[in-house]
Structure formats: C-alpha cells, structure tokens
Amino acid sequence: MQNKEQRENAFHAPFVLKNITNTYLRGDIVKELEEKILKEGHALSENILKVDSFINHQVDPVLMQQIGDDFARHFANRGITKVVTIESSGIAPALTTASALKVPMIILKKQPSKVLNDNLLQTVVTSFTKGTSYELTLSHQFIEDNDNVLIIDDFLANGEAASGAIRLLTEAGASIAGVGILIEKSFQPGREKLIAQGIEVYSLARVSKLAKGVIEFIPEEN
Ligand code: 5GP
C-alpha cells in the first residue's frame, strides 16, 4: 500500500518502458484501427468520417489501451510530464496514454467560463464538425513552466483544435513534445499547419480519401 508521498511521486516518476506491453507493434495497431474504420466507420461526405461505434459514442476500451501503449511507446523517454486532450472524444486515448506514461492527464474544456480570473486561460477555436466557434479553457494551476506536454486527440482535420491547445499550453509556459492522433485526414491541412509550427505529429490511421462509401488510407511505410 503506497503512502500519500509515494503516490504523488509516482505521478512524476520517469517513464519506465518495461511497464508497457510490448506485444503490439505500430504496424499491428495501425492495421487493427484501419480494419475497424473500414468495418464500422461511415464516410458521411468527402470530409466527415463517423466512428461512433468505437471512438465518439461507444468506446472500445481494449483498442484504446493498445493505442495508449503505442503513443506512450513512441513518445517514451522524451521527458513528458503531462498528457493533454480536448473534451470529449480525446479523453479515452489520452487517459490510456497518460496511464502508460504514468503522468497526469488534463482535459481542455470547451465551455467558456463566466468566472474570468488570472488563473484561467482561454482561446477561441473553430469546430470542424459543427462549423461554430467555442472557447477552449485551461486552468493555469495544472500546468507549470517546466511541463513538457503531449497532446492527444481523436481526429486531425484543419488543425484548429490542436493549434488552440498549443496556444493555451504555450501561454501557460509549457513546451510541446508532440501531438498524437488516432485518425488523421491527410487531405486536410492540419498536419502541415502543425509541422509548420515545429510540432511533431504522430498519427495512426492516415486517411487519404473519403467519399460516400469510400475510405482509403495512406499505406504504412515499412
Ligand atoms: P480540427 O480542429 O483539426 O479541424 O478538427 C479536429 C477536431 O474536430 C477533433 O477534435 C474532432 O473531434 C473533430 N473532427 C474533425 N474531423 C472529424 C471527422 O471526420 N469525424 C469526427 N467524428 N470528428 C471530427
């Protein structure tokens, strides 16, 4: 049984690779995710992919665990101190990643806060799926100057959500270790936008084309 101090120290323990299951390789995870997308995903248009049965509404916890392990393996030994996501669909993979890295997870909230104070950072983000804007909010108390943060989200489209997260975290004094994405729509400009800011983007499934009934991926390089 750990005492309070040991539990707190565990949060700040350096990443230990042996705690992460090495049974799955990146290629296996990507293949599994792509197969699931082909089987259960629906291309609603040339721009929107619906994955409600395993990411956005119902969640596949075993897949999320494997994805979290893969993100943690990829970003191992980079001194990550916190995993940050945007509510709500990023929470499941962000939690499994944070758990594998043994660091806290922070959820950036989408509601504007009426209580404006020095401790609250906010930025306006345009929602890809809704076409409306929302305020992304971070309480400064959860980020310190020396934090090195990994951002996790379900989709990357125009890079608005990730760029908003980067703005908030940078304003709070953190450095950004990278962005981990489950499904990147590579025909949209998000990846280029983030790379232009000097941010590493690590995506699992990379969709090259969507159309009614059509979902195509960029093949994995071996
Ligand atoms: P971005 O900010 O990169 O333009 O869009 C990413 C955000 O919009 C993600 O947080 C995700 O929730 C949502 N999103 C973008 N494209 C899709 C999509 O094709 N399907 C779903 N379900 N969500 C998407």
**pLDDT for residue 14:** 40
129 CA to middle of ligand 1, Å?
A: 6
**pLDDT for residue 114:** 62
**pLDDT for residue 221:** 79
Question: In terms of Cα–Cα distance, which of 93, 97, 153 is closest to 127?
Answer: 153
**pLDDT for residue 111:** 77
Question: In terms of Cα–Cα distance, which of 207, 209, 137 is closest to 172?
Answer: 137
Determine which residue's CA is closest to atom 9 belonging to ligand 1: 155
Reduce the DSSP state of residue 175 to 3 states and report it: strand
**pLDDT for residue 7:** 47
**pLDDT for residue 195:** 98
Question: In terms of Cα–Cα distance, which of 60, 73, 79 is closest to 27?
Answer: 73
Between CA 66 and CA 13 the distance in angstroms is 22
**pLDDT for residue 13:** 41
First to last CA, the chain: 45
**pLDDT for residue 151:** 99
Tens digits of pLDDT across the chain (222 residues): 445 555 444 444 444 444 455 556 899 999 999 999 999 999 999 999 999 999 999 999 999 999 999 999 999 999 999 999 999 999 999 999 999 999 999 999 997 666 666 689 999 999 988 888 999 999 999 999 999 999 999 999 999 999 999 999 999 999 999 999 999 999 999 999 999 999 999 999 999 999 998 999 999 875
- Amino acid letter, residue 132: T
**pLDDT for residue 4:** 53
Does 157 contact ligand 1 (Cβ within 6 A)?
yes
Q: Ligand 1 test: best mutation among 130, 154, 187, most atoms within 8 Å of CB?
A: 154
Between CA 160 and CA 153 the distance in angstroms is 12
Does 70 contact ligand 1 (Cβ within 6 A)?
no
**pLDDT for residue 115:** 62
Between CA 216 and CA 208 the distance in angstroms is 6
**pLDDT for residue 79:** 97
Q: Ligand 1 test: best mutation among 89, 128, 130, 191, most atoms within 8 Å of CB?
A: 128
Q: Tokens 């075993």: give the residue.
A: 62
Determine which residue's CA is closest to atom 20 belonging to ligand 1: 49
Beta strand 120-126 with 148-156 is unpaired
